[in-house]
Chains A and B, each alone.
Chain A
Amino acid sequence: MLRLDGLVKQYPTGDLALKGVDLDVPKGQVMALIGPSGAGKSTLIRCVNRLVEPSSGHVFLGGQEITGIGKGALRRARRRMGMIFQEYALVERLSVMENVLSGRLGYVSFWRSYFRKFPQSDIDEAFRLLERVGLDHMVDKRADELSGGQRQRVGICRALIQDPQLLLVDEPTASLDPKTSRQIMRLICELCAERDLAAVINIHDVMLAQMFAQRIVGLRLGEIVYDGPPDGLTPDVLTEIYGEEDWEATIQKDEDGEEGEPDDHHDDAERPDERMAGLT
């Protein structure tokens, strides 16, 4: 689905963020990208949809080359890649519905979007998605009235209403508490499975990555230093990625971690995961 071929990014300051990355993500695979801050995770994700312009190398999405295409073609290519952001990046002063519908901007004309006259099919889909993530009762609330977990769900809806083939997910849990983090990661993975979506999830929490991803790629200083299954992450590998540290605890905790963490009461307590998983 996604193929990176010798991707290099050098910033004008001279920093070499990516040093020739080769990567292949097949359809339906959820891949976690781990690595220390400054490893180039965020740059890599943004090079795929060219929010950051790669210096050299190629990006292919479903056989189509993304690098080097013109403005209009890039817009159409971006429609096929949904992006989810670290701090939700919702337009704070727009309502939940407007934020979700903004995922359709690549499909509708300017005047239609300006007068908010989206096709009925888009609105139906928006309602379905909001229902799926359990936010259909908040359609006309303004985005800045929502809690962190709720905002990220709106962000997920915005990405999915694009009807993408690939999800680019940039640190989805960095601003969330541990419980909400898991709910959000579970939601993303379930949705990927339902729609057979490929996903590149950029995440700094090794435990969460191991718990939810099918494949882990470790990035260090712009180079891939690990590419394999989650259980291949040994202390040696983690040292390779992050540097010297006692990794036993991290890995151990993760093995009995999945269901073991005590449920603390948060804003989402009244809407348990079961409900979200049950509705489609």
Chain B
Amino acid sequence: MPTVVQDDTKIWQRRDRKRQLTVWAGWFFGTFIFVYCFKLISDKTTWFFVTDAGRQAADLGSRMMPPEWGYMNDLWRPLWDTINIATLGTLIAIVIAVPVAFLAARNTTPSIAFVRPIALLIIVSSRSINSLIWALLLVAIVGPGVFAGIIAIGLRSIGFVAKLLYEAIEEIDEKQVEAITATGASGPQRLSFGIVPQILPAFAGITVFRWDINIRESTVLGLVGAGGIGLELNAKIMELGWSSVSVILLAILATVVVSEWVSAKVRHAII
């Protein structure tokens, strides 16, 4: 009881005693973990470098300015590759993610006990591993290049698209499907008339959203050799060409802003 009667006075407290103690214990425990973790990290840190960071930053800034604009001419091709990695990777992901989503959704899976867990495992494996790690793996397997990047983006996006899509499938209005069933429709017809129209807007939104994220991710795949503008970035950082690096960063920034704008426009048009 938050209200306690004591000497004829009602004392109100926000929480009762037990709850209050739990909350305090939670805060104490949380703070303890934070401080402990911070100490472990601080032990591994050379604090001299950290205190020196301001000077470093000023130094770096002066080297990056002014950007070497002429370098932009060498960047069109890597930028084009970057966009292709994102777009083609997204397309591959869609092709695989759609069936996986239908296998994972409770209401469309052929078997809850057997098929659904496999589909969920595919989704969680794909989602847990960052596209850069997929790229590391693929560069080791199929060699450096755009192809590894496309597949890496594709593999990472399967889980994302499939997860959001299967959640959308599970949220559909079952009555509409029941009505289609009652007309004597077959399984595939039930899918195309009862379920697909209901999830189509969600599907389009998810796809464009993921494409936008993929543009951002594909800018760094080159750091591990998987093609795109990241290759240039890596090369210029290695040879300390900082005035070129700033051009690359501005190019990435512009691409990301444009892709975000496109994605927002398209999603707006769908809804």
Contacts and interface: CB of A to CB of B under 8 A. Distances in A.
- The answer on direct contact between A and B (beta carbons under 8 Å) is yes
Interface string A236-259: 000000000000000000000000
A158 interface: yes
B182 A83 contact: yes
A113 B193 contact: yes
A105 B180 contact: yes
A78 B197 contact: no
B16 interface: no
19 contacts: A75-B184, A77-B184, A85-B178, A87-B175, A91-B180, A92-B173, A93-B200, A94-B193, A102-B180, A102-B183, A103-B183, A104-B183, A105-B183, A105-B184, A105-B186, A107-B184, A114-B192, A162-B184, A168-B182
Which of B178, B180, B184 counts the most chain A CB atoms within 10 A?
A: B184
A77 B181 CA distance: 12
A49 B182 CA distance: 7
A105 B189 contact: yes
B179 interface: yes
B197 A91 contact: yes
Contact of A106 (B175, B176, B184, B201): B184
Interface of B: 173, 175-176, 178-186, 188-189, 192-194, 197-198, 200-201
Contacts of B194: 91
Contact of B178 (A51, A98, A110): A51
A81 interface: yes
Contacts of B183: 78-79, 82-83, 102-106, 158, 162
A113 B189 contact: yes
A162 to B, nearest CB: 6
B192 A92 contact: no
Interface string A137-161: 0000000000000000001001000
B156 to A, nearest CB: 30
Given A93-B197, A93-B198, A94-B197, A81 B176 contact: no
Contacts of B176: 89-92
Contacts of B198: 91-93
Contacts of A98: 193
A76 interface: yes
Contacts, number: 79
A168 B184 CA distance: 14
A168 B183 CA distance: 11
A158 B179 contact: yes
Contact of B182 (A81, A90, A113): A81
Contact of B186 (A87, A91, A93, A110): A110
Given A94-B193, A94-B197, A89 B178 contact: yes
A81 B189 CA distance: 18
B186 to A, nearest CB: 6
Contacts of B201: 93
Interface of A: 49, 51, 75-79, 81-83, 85, 87, 89-94, 98, 102-107, 110, 113-114, 155, 158, 162, 168
A178 B198 CA distance: 30
A90 B192 CA distance: 14
Nearest to B173: A92
Contact of B188 (A102, A110, A158): A110
Contacts of A93: 197-198, 200-201
A158 B193 CA distance: 13
Nearest to A142: B197
Closest 3 CB pairs of A and B: A106-B184, A78-B184, A89-B179
A77 B186 CA distance: 12
A184 to B, nearest CB: 16
B197 to A, nearest CB: 4
Contacts of B180: 91, 102, 105
A91 B176 CA distance: 5
A79 B185 CA distance: 8
A162 B183 CA distance: 7
A156 to B, nearest CB: 12
Given A83-B182, A91-B194, A91-B197, 13 more contacts: A51-B182, A75-B186, A78-B181, A78-B183, A85-B175, A87-B175, A89-B176, A91-B176, A92-B176, A105-B193, A155-B179, A158-B179, A168-B182
A91 to B, nearest CB: 5
Contacts of A94: 193, 197
Contacts of B200: 93
A87 to B, nearest CB: 6
Nearest to A105: B185
Contacts of A113: 189, 192-193
A153 B189 CA distance: 23
A122 B188 CA distance: 20
Contact of B175 (A79, A81, A89): A89
B201 to A, nearest CB: 8
Contacts of A87: 175
Nearest to B180: A102
B150 to A, nearest CB: 30
